[in-house]
Amino acid sequence: MPTQTSSRPAAPQPVPQANGTSHYFDGVDLPALAQRIGTPLHAYSASAIRQRISELQSALAGLDATICFAVKANSNLAILQLMAQASVGADIVSVGELRRALNAGIPAERIVFSGVGKSADEIAGALNVGIMRFNVESLDELHTLQRVAKAQDVTARAAVRINPDVDAQTHAKISTGKSENKFGVSIDEARRWFAERKRLGHVQLDGLHVHIGSQILSLDPFRLALQRVAAFWRELEQAGHPINSIDVGGGLGVCYRAGTDHPVAAADYVNVIRDALADYRGKLLLEPGRYLVAEAGVLLTRVLRVKPGVERTFLVLDAAMNDLQRPSLYDAWHDIVPVADAPRPLVTYDIVGPVCETGDTFARARELPECAAGDLLLIKATGAYGASMASTYNSRPLAAEVLLNQGRYAVVRRRQHFEEMIAGEQPARNWETT
Ligand SMILES: *Cc1c(COP(=O)(O)O)cnc(C)c1O
């Protein structure tokens, strides 16, 4: 791997910011947009996403590297199209995501398939379209891949997902690289796979993969994981097992809480890769999800009412946990700001949605300029794991999604109609026996 660091310094460009003090996000007037489309509403800045892609791409200059966007972070077709236009591939975890990626114009040869539960049918579907490689997570999956590839009379390209037993120092539910987690296999097990690899007539096992978790804000876990992968790679090469691809996964953290979260810079992250794999000459893959899209998204929501309680004052929004699960699922912090003109006194609120769960809480004891019914708020950094994790819980239709681009907007998912929400359901009319 050439380690030239003569990467052109990226010209500092203003990243579109939705900060509440301005009504504009990527040149689009947010109050007018909320008026036009209604709330709750997911808005994404295309300019901000492009900027993140190009930051990472320029950090990778000189390397034979492909960025494969983790589709689960935001699987909207318009977002995937942005990726395709920027030559970004896809990291998929289901055939549904495969179809989305292909549909958006991401070529199969830039698609990698991860996940512990790929079914034989899913493997067959992905083999059929000729994806770049499978990140294999268990011996049973490796044998399934061999069997399905043999049946199709093709050779599947595969990487073994290593579980490096590294603590990503992130939330337990998004940590994936500890030996207690369900992901990947130990280096000991992977060593046995390679020793037997020639028996796999229809699987070309020549890749390594690692993904230790998400929302990682320190370089140390990356460094440690990559050192372990690099040592294993050297061992394999010496044992006569050529490694043609190393997939370093995703996990780069973003800023959810201004002043507290300090994400690592793309260039520093890539330097860790350059250092750990300095003498590696094969192909590099990266699977960022959150890093590319989280801060490019906001959830626009209105205050339904202010409810004074005995101990707390509740700000009840028209957005809920079904639109954005992260706070209820991971106790995640999202900055929340009013889209307001005049400065107002600060009030402490519990910010909640209408869903009938106490967990439907976006923030507890949060200081906000005083709000009234009808006020527009921004929940920030919702571009990743927001809409893609949404549900219709409480029979709330899926929110609209809008892409913003330099003063213009396009609806990229219309608000779900009631009829769409119940489509497929039917009364138990036709009773059958098996
Ligand atoms: C979720 C996931 C990613 C993306 O993680 P981010 O933290 O969003 O970058 C990458 N690779 C795999 C295998 C994943 O499961």
- Could you report the per-residue pLDDT of 272-319, keeping only the tens digit for each? 999 999 999 999 999 999 999 999 999 999 999 999 999 999 999 999
Q: Say which DSSP state 88 is in.
A: -
pLDDT above 70: percentage of residues in the chain:
95
Q: Would residue 356 show up in a list of annotated catalytic residues for this protein?
A: yes
pLDDT of 14 over the 60 cut: no
Structural tokens at position 165: 């037993």
Q: DSSP assignment of 338-351, as one string?
A: E--SS---EEEEEE
Q: Is 290 in the pocket of ligand 1 (CB under 6 A)?
A: yes
- Given a contact cutoff of 8 angstroms between Cβ atoms, the answer to whether 323 and 386 are in contact is yes
Q: Which helix (H) or strand (E) holds 129?
A: helix 120-129
Residue to probe by mutation, ligand 1, list 74, 287, 330, most atoms within 8 Å of CB: 287
- Given a contact cutoff of 8 angstroms between Cβ atoms, the answer to whether 105 and 88 are in contact is no
Q: Which residues contact 121 (CB under 8 A, 6 or more apart)?
A: 95
Atom of ligand 1 nearest to the CA of 252: 9
Q: Is 328 in the pocket of ligand 1 (CB under 6 A)?
A: no
Atom of ligand 1 nearest to the CA of 287: 10
pLDDT for 174 equals 75
Q: Is 251 in the pocket of ligand 1 (CB under 6 A)?
A: yes
pLDDT for 8 equals 47
Encoded amino acid at 170, one letter? T
Atom of ligand 1 nearest to the CA of 209: 13
Does the bond joining 2 to the residue before it have cis omega, within 30 degrees of 0?
A: no
25 Cα to the center of ligand 1, angstroms: 27
288 Cα to the center of ligand 1, angstroms: 6
15-55 pLDDT per residue, tens: 577 766 679 999 999 999 999 999 999 999 999 999 999 99
Instruction: Of 116-130, 168-182, 220-234, 248-262, give the lowest mean pLDDT range.
Output: 168-182
Mean pLDDT, all residues of the chain: 94
91 Cα to the center of ligand 1, angstroms: 8
Residue 4 — very low, low, confident or very high, per pLDDT cuts 50/70/90?
very low
Q: Which long-range contacts (CB under 8 A, 24 or more apart) does 354-361 make?
A: 354/304, 354/316, 354/317, 354/318, 354/320, 354/394, 354/396, 355/320, 355/321, 355/322, 355/393, 355/394, 355/396, 356/394, 357/321, 357/328, 359/321, 359/328, 360/320, 360/321, 360/328, 361/327, 361/328
- Given a contact cutoff of 8 angstroms between Cβ atoms, the answer to whether 69 and 91 are in contact is yes
Report the distance separating Cα 183 and Cα 104, nearest Å.
28
Q: Is 91 in the pocket of ligand 1 (CB under 6 A)?
A: yes
- Given a contact cutoff of 8 angstroms between Cβ atoms, the answer to whether 35 and 379 are in contact is no
57-74 pLDDT per residue, tens: 999 999 999 999 999 999
Which spans in 17-119 are helix H? 30-37, 46-59, 77-85, 95-103
Report the distance separating Cα 90 and Cα 169, nearest Å.
26
185 Cα to the center of ligand 1, angstroms: 17
- Please, what are the domains in the chain? 45-292 (3.20.20.10), 295-420 (2.40.37.10)
Q: Which residues contact 395 (CB under 8 A, 6 or more apart)?
A: 421
Atom of ligand 1 nearest to the CA of 215: 7
Q: Say which DSSP state 23 is in.
A: S
Q: Is 214 in the pocket of ligand 1 (CB under 6 A)?
A: yes
Q: Say which DSSP state 17 is in.
A: -
159-179 pLDDT per residue, tens: 999 999 888 888 887 778 888
Report the distance separating Cα 372 and Cα 45, nearest Å.
27
372 Cα to the center of ligand 1, angstroms: 39
Report the distance separating Cα 42 and Cα 384, nearest Å.
11
Q: Is 114 in the pocket of ligand 1 (CB under 6 A)?
A: yes
* 3-class state of residue 90 by DSSP: strand
Q: Is 213 in the pocket of ligand 1 (CB under 6 A)?
A: no
146 Cα to the center of ligand 1, angstroms: 25
Report the distance separating Cα 426 and Cα 8, nearest Å.
59
Atom of ligand 1 nearest to the CA of 174: 7
Q: Is 287 in the pocket of ligand 1 (CB under 6 A)?
A: yes
Which spans in 290-331 are helix H? 290-293, 326-330
215 Cα to the center of ligand 1, angstroms: 9
Q: Is 216 in the pocket of ligand 1 (CB under 6 A)?
A: no
Task: Identify the CA nearest to 44 among candidates 333, 310, 291, 293.
Answer: 293
397-422 pLDDT per residue, tens: 999 999 999 999 999 999 999 999 99
Report the distance separating Cα 68 and Cα 70, nearest Å.
6
Residue 343 — very low, low, confident or very high, per pLDDT cuts 50/70/90?
confident
Q: pTM of the predicted model, to two decimals? A: 0.94
Q: Is 249 in the pocket of ligand 1 (CB under 6 A)?
A: yes
